[in-house]
Amino acid sequence: MFGFDMGYMIIAGVFSLISMWVGSKLKSKFAKYSKVQLRNGMSGAEIAEKMLADNGIRDVKVISTPGMLTDHYNPANKTVNLSEGVYNQRNAAAAAVAAHECGHAVQHATAYSWLQMRSKMVPILNVTNKFSMWVIFGGLMLMGTTAIGGTIAWVGIALYGIGTLFSVVTLPVEYDASNRALAWLKNKNMLATDEYAGAEDALKWAARTYLAAAIGAIATLLYFALKVAGNSRD
C-alpha cells in the first residue's frame, strides 16, 4: 500500500508517544506552577512589558491570544502574544512563559543569528512539509521499476532534511530564549526563590518538547536515507 512502511510507522509511533508524554508533563507542570502565586502581584502581561522595557525594546506590543499554551512572538508585526492562561494571570508559570516569549523579542532586536536563520527557513517549510514524504514514498515505489526512482527518493529526503534542519535550528533559539528569560527574572529579582524554581522547571519541560521533535525528525531522516541507500545497492 502506498505510504505504508513498517520501519517508519514504528519510528513515528515511538516518537509520537514520547512527544505525547513530554507534552503531558508540560501541561502538568504548567498547571502545578499556575498555583504558585507571585508575591509581586504582577500579571504575565506586566512581566512581559517590563522585560521589554528593561531591554530597551519599545516597538513591540504585548497582546492576548486565545487558547492554552498558544503563546508566541511574531517578528512580522512585532507582537508578544500571550495565551489566556498567561496574559492576566499572576503566577510562576505565567511569568516564565511571558519572559520566554520576550526572550524571542530580545533575540529579534539583537539580530540573534539562529533566530534569523530559522525565520528565513519558514517560507520553504510550507512546501517541504506537504510534499517530502509523498516524494520519498513515491521514489521508493519507483525504485523497483525505473532508475529515476532513486533520484526522486533522494529529492524527497532532501526536502525532509530541510524540515529536520529547521527542528535542529529551533533548539538553540528556544533554549536561548529561556536562558534570557531566566537570567532577567533572576537579575531583576522578579521572583522569590520558590517562584523562580517553578519558572525554571516549567521552561525546561517546554524546551524538551522541541528536543523530542528534533530527535524524532533526525531518526526519521536517517531511517529513510539508509533505506534508499540500501535499495540502491540491491
Q: What single DSSP character describes residue 112?
A: -
Q: 65: which 3 cell numbers? A: 491570544
Q: 23: which 3 cell numbers? A: 507534552
101 is a catalytic site residue: yes
Q: Which residue has the cell 536561548?
A: 176
* AA identity, residue 116: Q
Degrees to nearest 5, angle at CA 136 with 134 and 141: 95
CA distance 80 to 127: 27
Q: 57: which 3 cell numbers? A: 525594546
Q: How many CA atoms lie within 13 A of 72 on its CB side?
A: 9
User: Which residue among the candidates 46, 49, 101, 195 is catalytic per the annotation?
Assistant: 101
Length of the chain: 234
List phi, psi (to 5°) of 21: -65, -45
CA distance 173 to 121: 13
Which residues does the annotation mark as catalytic? 101
